[in-house]
Amino acid sequence: MSTRGSWFMRDRPVVIWLMAALVVSLVHPFFAYSRWLMVHLVVLGAVTHAAMVWSVHFTEALLKTRSGFEERHLQTIRLSVFQGGVLLVLVGVPTRVWPLTLVGGILISAAVGWHAVMLVRRLKAALPGRFRVTVRYYLVAALLLPVGATFGVLLARGGATDTAHGQLLVAHTMVNLLGWIGLTVLGTLVTLWPTMLRTKMADTAESASQHALPVLAGGLALVIASPLLDQAMVGVAGIALYLAGTLWVYRPIVTAARRRPPYAFPTLSAGAGLLWLPVGLVLMGWSLATRGSWAALADNYGALTTIFVVGFALQILLGALSYLLPVVIGGGPSVLRAGMAELERWGTARVAVANLGLAICLLPVPSLVRVIVSMLTLIALALSIPLLLRGLRASIRAKKAKEAVAAVGGQPGLSTKPSKSEVVALTTQSSTQTWSRPQLVAAVAIIAVGVTLGVGLDPAAAGLNVAGAIKPAAVDIAPTGHTTTVKVTAKDMRFSPAEISVPLGDRLVIEVENTDPSDVHDLVLATGESTGRVSPGGKASLEVPVVGSSIDGWCSVVGHRQMGMVFNVKALGGDTSAEAAPTAPATSGTHGGHASSGPSPAIDFMARWGTSSAAYDPVLPPLTDEKVRRVTLTVREEKLEVAPGVTQTRWTYNGSSIGPTLHGRVGDTFEITLVNHGSMGHSIDFHASELAPDGPMRTIEPGESLVYRFTAKRSGIWMYHCATMPMATHIAAGMAGAVVIEPEGLPTVDHSYLMVQSEIFLGAQGDPVNADKVMAETPDAVVFNGHANQYVDHPLEARVGERVRIWVLDVGPNRPSSFHVVGGQFDTVYKEGTYLLRNGRGPLDPPGTTTGGSQALDLAAAQGGFVELSFPEPGHYPVVNHVMVDAERGARGIVEVTD
């Protein structure tokens, strides 16, 4: 095909998909499937389209096929079929319309199959020549993509067991990332890389490609088979083989880079991408070998996906396109120079920020550091999108201007193909101008500022002194010159040992190892020293220059100190009384080690909610017909008004003061994606599930995610909550909600409401939950649906004679509930999976009885049920917890009944 000039299907779709991925990345915390969309917009949209276009381009260049072998309009049709399939998949999966996904997968597979057929035809028509093996890489990759698409379509259908789902997920990602993309990139860069560097191709390049292909294919086969057979060591062997094949291909690539190191943005970006591939393979192989199964590898799967998609595939794509697009548009050196001048702006800084930021985000850094640095990384990568557009426009404008000048001057037509010497001269000039030490220094400074800002916003998480800690009074103790080093482990809310003895005047070094399998911990001393947050399996240390008195210590993660995670340094050889060694006060209302900034605000339970305030919607979400219910729950810390004028930083699922309600039937499958955007570890436990808690209920750290799948086997209203210790504190902070599984034959009613009772424990205004109050069981308020008295000013609604069902769940963490409607009587009461009263008849009443009634539904923490009633006349019917002290501190509302 002719590649001169601009062609929409070659030049534009990749940029469009990347722009869509950028938009999704900016709003991803606010809707489900955002991470899935980001990955697939990049991999399925941008990278796959580029692979289909440029593999044809390189095949024709290497095989020297005749001009017009395949008409461009046929290629446009094929790429359009592919784009249509991508759109259907990107709509079908998030909307859960499986037929759309199925049709999309078929169209994608058909387009790639057509692509493979045309590669074979080109291969057969070509004369013998070098690097035919590159086309074989493209063929093997093209045969693998329909396999990966099939796995993806089966995943989208749902209904598979948890084990089968995990197996399909791993097989799907490995086929597409290592097969379709990995083989296409490795096959291309053997020849493209030295061209980009303007250096001679290594003599061993072709033989290296030939020898590596069967090794790569064999390794990939083992990697794909491993999750399907549930044999982890088969996967380890496959990863090792694939890594060996990759390094084999890299030999001539490294040789070329040694001859002429990369300087311009295209080679810097592509070179960085090449480095990330073996890093990802080594990390994946090591994690699989140490964890023993693909299921256990799920903790690191998000990091691995980031490495392969962003570090490897995206950077290769951006680097290659920045080099190729100006060249294929043609027009001579002035046209090329115009395009490259735009594409290579801030090249060194963009690559450095992106890769430094990506590396930091993969480390166990504090959550706020990760958030800020990831935004800087996103900006550095996203800058390539407008620069690609600017480069295309600049090249096209320059070409048209040159054609116009040639026409006016009566000169012969513009050459559309630059000579080899012109390209070399141009790119040589460009590359020497792109590399910039000042840009590298600026990039390091940008990342450093981002890290510093994150640490400044959460210093305790980074191991800095805790605000509010009271240091012991200075004591004139002569240093002994001796160092005492102590090893301490943190596990199960305890330090071991919990007390150490150190001679006065010694230098003290405490080495802390977090052997807890899931929770983050730290060690903070009253003198201000801190290890900073230590992730599971991690180590850190702190130092006291001179021990002048006994010192108290504790874990500053919210609630851990109250659970007994305390530590003591006992000074030997001097006065170790409390008077000589004052300690920090109890950190009530702490968050990340920061002491409460003041007393708890007083709640005025007679205060009114403003007309502009929005109550939590008490209407039970409607029951839909789907059998697989997919929900994303994103952990976020949100400052919310829990009573009029009183705010608290709540730990939330999806941003509301209680978790969103899930609604289904017996036999429905729930697929819950938990994403942790908080500042500490969190988890989720569904009482509606019946499975071993070891995997799905595990604690995940900030930035991680997991998929929790279960099938509802029994009816009732079930609690779900964060199961991370201290559990009471996490529940009290807002991390709980309801799952309503309707009993069979449940009749329809006019109104169906939901009331979730919980407790509020206040620190200072705007602070998080007060862990001391939780442990002392002294709530500031008891509320329905997360806010005190909200349904007094935003009443529930009904009309006279209408049937009203009110589901009630007590999530605690401590207080019971006695649910009562003043002025109403319940003729139906359902509690913990069975009817106590149904249409006025109890379980032991004779048939025909309809006069039975109930005044209250009594619930302990984690129990639930529903009541039904009708209202005889208009009026305002109070809804209360008839444990009256709790009604008077927020657990009340109103049903407003009209004619």
Dmax over Cα atoms in the chain, in whole Å?
108
Q: Is the pLDDT of residue 581 over 60?
A: no
Q: What is the residue-averaged pLDDT of the chain?
A: 84
Domain's final residue, options 527, 543, 572: 572
List the alpha helices (DSSP H) in 260-366. Answer: 265-291, 298-306, 315-329, 333-343, 347-361
**What CA–CA distance (Å, rounded) separates 257 from 259?**
5
Q: Which pLDDT does position 164 carry in this prediction?
A: 72
Is 623 domain-assigned? no
Is 548 domain-assigned? yes
The residue-averaged pLDDT of 202-209 equals 85
Q: Which pLDDT does position 468 carry in this prediction?
A: 45
Range in 17-26, 48-57, 521-530, 756-765 with the lowest mean pLDDT: 17-26
- Report pLDDT digits (tens) over 848-875: 788 889 999 999 999 999 999 999 999 9
Q: Is the pLDDT of residue 29 over 80?
A: no
Is 387 domain-assigned? no
Identify which of 422, 387, 143, 181 has the alpha carbon closest to the alpha carbon of residue 280.
Answer: 181
Is 90 domain-assigned? no
Identify which of 256, 197, 271 has the alpha carbon closest to the alpha carbon of residue 432.
Answer: 197
DSSP letter string, 223-280? HHHHHHHT-HHHHHHHHHHHHHHHHHHHHHHHHHHHHS---SHHHHHHHHHHHHHHHH
Q: Is the pLDDT of residue 824 over 90?
A: yes
CATH number at residue 466: 2.60.40.420
Residues 746 and 862 in one domain: yes
Residues 704 and 828 in one domain: yes
Check residues 284 and 1 and name the one with the higher pLDDT: 284
Q: Which pTM value belongs to this model?
A: 0.61
Which residue in the block uniquely carries the two structure tokens 């129990």?
A: 863
**What CA–CA distance (Å, rounded) separates 633 from 411?**
66
Backbone angles phi, psi at 740, to 5 degrees: -100, 115
Local confidence band at 548 (pLDDT 50, 70, 90 cut-offs):
confident
Residues 559 and 640 in one domain: no
Is 126 domain-assigned? no
Q: Which pLDDT does position 28 carry in this prediction?
A: 62
DSSP letter string, 188-234? HHHHHHHHHHTSPPPTTHHHHHHHHHHHHHHHHHHHHHHHHHT-HHH
Q: Is 593 exposed, middle or buried (0-12, 13-18, 19+ CB in 10 A)?
A: buried
Residues 741 and 833 in one domain: yes
Check residues 563 and 350 and name the one with the higher pLDDT: 350
Q: Which pLDDT does position 716 carry in this prediction?
A: 95
**What CA–CA distance (Å, rounded) separates 576 from 527?**
15
Residues 701 and 804 in one domain: yes
**What CA–CA distance (Å, rounded) separates 739 from 92?**
26
Q: Which pLDDT does position 64 carry in this prediction?
A: 81
Please answer whether residues 126 and 199 qualify as being in contact, where contact means their C-beta atoms are separated by less than 8 angstroms: no
Q: Which pLDDT does position 560 carry in this prediction?
A: 83
Domain's final residue, options 528, 550, 572: 572
Please report, as a single letter, which amino acid is at residue 427: T
Local confidence band at 519 (pLDDT 50, 70, 90 cut-offs):
confident
Is 814 domain-assigned? yes
Is 694 domain-assigned? yes
Q: Is the pLDDT of residue 789 over 80?
A: yes
**What CA–CA distance (Å, rounded) separates 173 from 625?**
30
DSSP letter string, 819-884? EEETT--BSEEEETTEEEEBTTB-TTSPTT-----BS-EEE-TT-EEEEEEE-SSSEEEEEEESSH
Please answer whether residues 498 and 518 qualify as being in contact, where contact means their C-beta atoms are separated by less than 8 angstroms: no
Residues 738 and 667 in one domain: yes
Cis amide bond preceding 252, omega within 30 = no
Residues 773 and 866 in one domain: yes
Q: Fill in the DSSP letter of residue 702.
A: T
Q: Is 8 exposed, middle or buried (0-12, 13-18, 19+ CB in 10 A)?
A: exposed
Residues 655 and 798 in one domain: yes
Residues 543 and 681 in one domain: no
Q: Which pLDDT does position 104 carry in this prediction?
A: 92
Residues 707 and 816 in one domain: yes
Q: Which pLDDT does position 344 carry in this prediction?
A: 82
Q: Is the pLDDT of residue 828 over 80?
A: yes
Cis amide bond preceding 497, omega within 30 = yes
Residues 516 and 637 in one domain: no
- Report pLDDT digits (tens) over 101-136: 999 999 999 999 999 999 898 888 877 777 788 889
Q: Which pLDDT does position 731 carry in this prediction?
A: 95
Local confidence band at 760 (pLDDT 50, 70, 90 cut-offs):
very high
The residue-averaged pLDDT of 449-477 equals 61
Range in 203-212, 252-261, 293-302, 438-447 with the lowest mean pLDDT: 293-302
Please report, as a single letter, which amino acid is at residue 27: V
Domain's final residue, options 538, 557, 572: 572
Give a three-class secondary structure readout of 507-558: EEEEEEEECCCCCCECCEECCCCECCCECCCCEEEEEECCCCCCEEEECCCC
Q: Which pLDDT does position 591 carry in this prediction?
A: 39
For helices 315-329 and 333-343, give the axis angle rounded to 10 degrees: 160
3-class SS at 481?
coil
Residues 652 and 760 in one domain: yes
Based on the structure, what is the number of domains in the chain?
2
Is 354 domain-assigned? no
Range of the domain at 681: 628-898
